[in-house]
Amino acid sequence: MIKVKNTIGVPKYKQIIYSIEDAIKNGNLEKGDKLPSINEIRNLNKLSRDTVLTAFNELKNRGIIRPVVGKGYYVSSENISIYQKIFLLFDELNSFKEDLYNSFLKNLGEHIQVDIFFHHFNENILHKLINDNTGAYNYYVVMPANLKNTSTSIQTLPKDKVYILDQLHEDLSDYPAVYQNFEKTLFDNLTKASHLIEKYTKLILIFSKDKQPKGILEGFKMFCENKSIPFEILSETKEEPLVRGELYIIPDDKNLLKIIKKLRSQNFTLARDIGVISYNDTLLKEIVEGGITTITTDFNEMGKNLAQMILNKKQEKIENPNKLIIRNSI
């Protein structure tokens, strides 16, 4: 079934791959079938063990075969059109991450399989997912979020196969990445809007330390201290009524909706009674309450840049662009 010829100009490990692919294509091998052992292929074709292993590892990374400890290798998929597999680990799925994911797939093109996983801001889940999938993929894309000690598991992966997404921690700074500079983004964009912010008596950041990037907190504090503006940091929306003259910086949509609900119940008007700046733009924010001012990044661009880095095997760091969209909420 698996034959290697010395007279053709195709590398021997490639000939092994082509033989197995042809056997699957012709129906001689089906999902669940056991392959000849590495020693059988080596002895039959007078090859080195490393040559056979190279072929098997490529097929394993593409998800076509799988090893079973103590038994050998088995056919796990008959889809031989997949040439590369990518492990994609997100923190959670929302509309922004969906845009990123769709852009990533679109720009990768065909014959690349992307398997998506979620750690839900749980360090143990992140470690388990990485450990369980080590060696099964060609590339690993990890969104560490604000979790600590993520490098412990990430460092077990081949360094040239890892890409970091969104937040770039200091202990991951040696890896290629498409990232956001949250501290700089918030400070710079609040500064751009300072002529509209100066009328407010107090700035309030609703910040979840478990889910929100620390850079948002640092950029907010830097701006308020630089401008000598009174400020407060809350973990969630207060039960008390809203106070006129306050401006809310709200990174998550759940607390944004709570503030809007309170606003309506108190017959307040945005930009007249209180102000709101949200994070990450959506179609809803264009419409609700006459439009919500947002600080946003381009998730489609993030997905595109990530795909191009992988396709071109680039090892670089790209800071994703951001912008301030001023609407009627400040």
Domain chopping of the chain, boundaries = 12-75, 84-180+299-320, 182-297
Q: Which fold has domain 84-180+299-320?
A: Rossmann fold (3.40.50)
∠ CA 221-289-293, nearest 5°, is 35
Res. 8 pLDDT band, cuts 50 70 90: low
pTM for the structure as a whole: 0.79
Q: Please provide the average confidence, as pLDDT, over all residues in the chain.
A: 93
Residue 6 pLDDT: 74
12-75 to CATH, choices 1.10.150.120, 3.40.47.10, 1.10.10.10, 3.40.50.150: 1.10.10.10
- 3-state helix, strand and coil shares in percent for the chain, rounded to the nearest 5: 40, 20, 40
> 302 CB contacts (<8 Å, ≥6 apart)?
100, 103, 165, 166, 178, 320
Residues 187-196 have a mean pLDDT of: 98
Q: Which amino acid is at 99?
A: D
Place of tokens 């080590």: 134
Res. 81 pLDDT band, cuts 50 70 90: confident
Tell which wins on pLDDT, 21 or 223: 223
What DSSP character marks residue 167? -
Res. 208 pLDDT band, cuts 50 70 90: very high
Res. 5 pLDDT band, cuts 50 70 90: confident
The answer to whether 84-180+299-320 and 182-297 have equal CATH topology is yes
Tell which wins on pLDDT, 138 or 121: 121
For the stretch 267-298, what's the b/e string if a residue is b when 16 or more beta carbons lie within 10 angstroms of its beta carbon? ebebbeebbbbbbbbbeebeebbebbbbbbbb
Percent of the chain surpassing pLDDT 90: 81
For the stretch 204-224, what's the b/e string if a residue is b when 16 or more beta carbons lie within 10 angstroms of its beta carbon? bbbbbeeebbebbbebbbbbb
Residue 262 pLDDT: 96
Res. 270 pLDDT band, cuts 50 70 90: very high
Q: In this structure, how many other beta carbons lie within 10 angstroms of the beta carbon of residue 250?
A: 24
Percent of the chain surpassing pLDDT 70: 99
Tell which wins on pLDDT, 122 or 109: 122
Residue 128 pLDDT: 95
Residue 63 pLDDT: 86
Res. 38 pLDDT band, cuts 50 70 90: very high
Indicate if the pLDDT at residue 304 is higher than 90. yes
Residue 7 pLDDT: 64
Tell which wins on pLDDT, 5 or 92: 92
Res. 83 pLDDT band, cuts 50 70 90: confident
Indicate if the pLDDT at residue 133 is higher than 80. yes
Residue 111 pLDDT: 82
Tell which wins on pLDDT, 184 or 6: 184
Residue 296 pLDDT: 97
182-297 to CATH, choices 3.30.1330.20, 3.40.50.2300, 3.10.450.50, 3.40.50.1970: 3.40.50.2300
d(CA 137, CA 114): 9
Residues 98-118 have pLDDT tens digits of 999 999 999 998 888 899 999
d(CA 322, CA 223): 17
Residue 107 pLDDT: 96
